[in-house]
Amino acid sequence: FYAGKSINPVSQGAAPHSTFNILASHSLLDPCSSGAGTVLSVPKDEPECSSNISSMVKEGHGSGNEDHKSFNQFDVVQDYSDHHYAKTSPGKTTKDWAKTIQNEWKLLQRDLPESIYVRVYEDRIDLIRAAIVGPAGTPYHDGLFFFDVCFPPEYPRCPPKVYYHSGGLRLNPNLYESGKVCLSLLNTWWGSGCEKWSKSNSTMLQVLISIQGLVLNDKPYFNEPGYKNTVNTPVGEKHSMAYNQTAFVLSCKTMLYSLRNPPKHFETLVVHHFHERERAILDACSAYASGIIVGSSVRDGAKYACDKCFAGFKKSLDAHTELLAKELAKNRAQAPELKGDTPAADEIASTSLGQT
């Protein structure tokens, strides 16, 4: 958890695979929480009157015709058929509701960090799909995590609904196999004051950055209920390291799931991202199987104190590394035009692990 550090969530200068740090008033993240006392202050634009929200956005981002060399962070697309909330009726909405969503689109279009990607839908402005790159220095590094969002008719009086594409895996205390995202900011966990959704101050951008920085953190074990009392204790840290091992294996499984079943409109991102990060991912698997602590920098050489600490983990990781290598090779074959436009494999590997 990134206590004591902060970022400006509207900054444009973040590196593509950097870890985003968010100011919190507590030393650890409560379970299923957006971060107690955490407020990401993102200014809201005054909404502009427009009869066609999507045309405003398309002027700056086109209509979603990406190739493998370029994937816009924000874009408007058409087909929402595989969206989790596709069959959920928008219900009775108002002009003010549409203006609020227009404001959200503009904020996302302007201020998304470089490692978060969003698609909105021209014919269903109540729906959003987002991809979040797992932060470096965590068991989620180099992974892609997908979320479907729905703005209810009451928005912004109540928070958006968010569904996580889990693939049936529970790799984080806040992200359920069912797709539930447990966050105070989404009112899916207890909280008070600035921990909860505010119709005046909270935004979709804040939700996405909170998921990346506060949920996908370096010690997710301490997100679990009741475990915060063991932070910085020998027992707590031992359990945390074991949890990170499991989380990394499940993150590898999630990579396999994404490579085999990329969400609609994100196929290009999946191909490009995993082509670029292939060597980094496989080098990480090799390093962790040799005893390097999950999330640590290979250059630091931090290893487990005894073989028993990672023997079972190594066996599981080796099996998934073999599967992952095969899928990444298939992915590489889908992106031949990228070979001359991405960094050399050894260059990628040298900058991949545990970089903060």
Decide if 5 contacts 63 (C-beta within 8 A): no
Rounded distance, CA 288 to CA 297, Å? 10
Rounded distance, CA 77 to CA 5, Å? 36
Outline where the chain has alpha helix (H). 53-61, 95-111, 204-210, 234-260, 267-289, 311-333, 345-350
182: annotated active-site residue? yes
β-pair partners for 74: 118
Residues 6+ apart with CB under 8 A from 200: none
First to last CA, the chain: 13
Catalytic residue among 150, 182, 252, 285: 182
CA within 13 Å, CB half, 162:
28
Which residue from 193, 146, 241, 246 is spatially nearest to 35, judged by alpha carbons?
193
Decide if 179 contacts 161 (C-beta within 8 A): no
Which residue from 272, 264, 254 is spatially nearest to 323, judged by alpha carbons?
254
Residues 6+ apart with CB under 8 A from 291: 303, 304, 307, 310
CA within 13 Å, CB half, 98:
15
Decide if 172 contacts 220 (C-beta within 8 A): yes
Decide if 171 contacts 247 (C-beta within 8 A): yes
| Catalytic residue list | 182
